[in-house]
Structure 1
Amino acid sequence: MTRPARPTRADYVHWRTITTRWRDDDAYGHLNNATYYEYFDTAVNAYLFEATGTNVRLLDRIGVVAETSCRYFREIGFPEPVEAGLVVDKVGTSSVVYRIGLFQGPGEEAAAEGRFVHVYVDNTTDPDGTRARPVAPLPDAIRAAVTPLLRQPD
């Protein structure tokens, strides 16, 4: 099985700097695995708030995380900041697939890369207490915000 190449800064379209915190490191002195996922969530949702100019929690359809994963390449941690690169691999009828690269320091290769899938659901609660049914189409504000992040093939 051939693993995909380690991503570089050139693979991403939008950037955000995330400040690391003392509590982000685990007992071994590197970023806790769960914190990587917090950084992915922050990179995606902060971008959506800024790019749409609205509180995305109040849209009639909201994105819920249906899938997430992480490939780890090297350790990162407190106190240096992390740069998160963001790119969109796919914009579907009711979903968006993001990749987020985490970089720390001057190198060109990612320390980690996450995959993050938002599926858009109705922002009302069904009688059974769930909002789990995908609803198409994506909100116009979301589609307009994520389309510029689509990575065009070289």
Structure 2
Amino acid sequence: MNSDYLHWQSIPTRWKDNDVYGHVNNAVHYSLMDTAINEWMITVPGFDPLESDQIALCVESHCVYKAEVSFPDTIELGLRVGKLGRSSVRWEAGLYRRSDGGLIAEGYFVHVFVGRTDRRPSEIVDPIRAEMQKLVIA
């Protein structure tokens, strides 16, 4: 696994994640990245997606698939911040198979923080920004 990722989550695959070809369907990779990012936002800096004055909208996402993974494998998902702007953040994720450390996929999500009501870009507030800084790669 890659030490450039600064936050890790273990995610067990589920029976329903496998598709007709016998491996985890590509859409699941996006869901896992989105879940890991939002879990971090809620638990680490305390972002409240239901009550916060601003929300984070995904404006771009991408995934490159490197290898198959199948139920009952466990995925180790590494997370880092590739770029932290005034109102945007580029989250980068690496998905690895726990059993052998093999790289499954690499992807990213770009979030733009906007006002909940006006949907206009707004500066990422502390403590969210301060915690994101800890995940920025050199």
Q: TM-score, normalised by structure 1?
A: 0.83
Higher helix share: 1
Gaps of 5+ in 1: 1-7
Letter aligned with residue 142 of structure 1: I
Higher fraction of strand: 2
DSSP-derived class of the 2:134 partner: helix
Aligned to 1:53: 46
Q: 1:80 to 1:109 in 2, by over 3 A?
A: closer
Shift of 1:11: 2.2
Structure 2's unaligned 5+ residue stretches are none
The runs of 4+ residues in structure 1 deviating greater than 6 Å are none
Rounded to whole Å, the distance in 1 between the matches of 2:9 and 2:104 is 15
Q: Distance in 2 between matches of 1:43 and 1:66?
A: 17
Q: Does 1:27 pair with 2:14? A: no
Aligned mates of 1:92, 1:54 — CA distance in 2: 18
Pairs aligned (count): 138
Given that 1:18 and 1:83 are in contact with CA atoms closer than 8 Å, whether structure 2 keeps it comes out as yes
- RMSD value, Cα: 1.5
- Percent identity reads 43
Equivalence for 1:4: none
Give the TM-score normalised by structure 2. Answer: 0.92
Structure showing greater radius of gyration is 1
User: What is the CA-CA distance between 1:141 and the residue it aligns to?
Assistant: 2.4
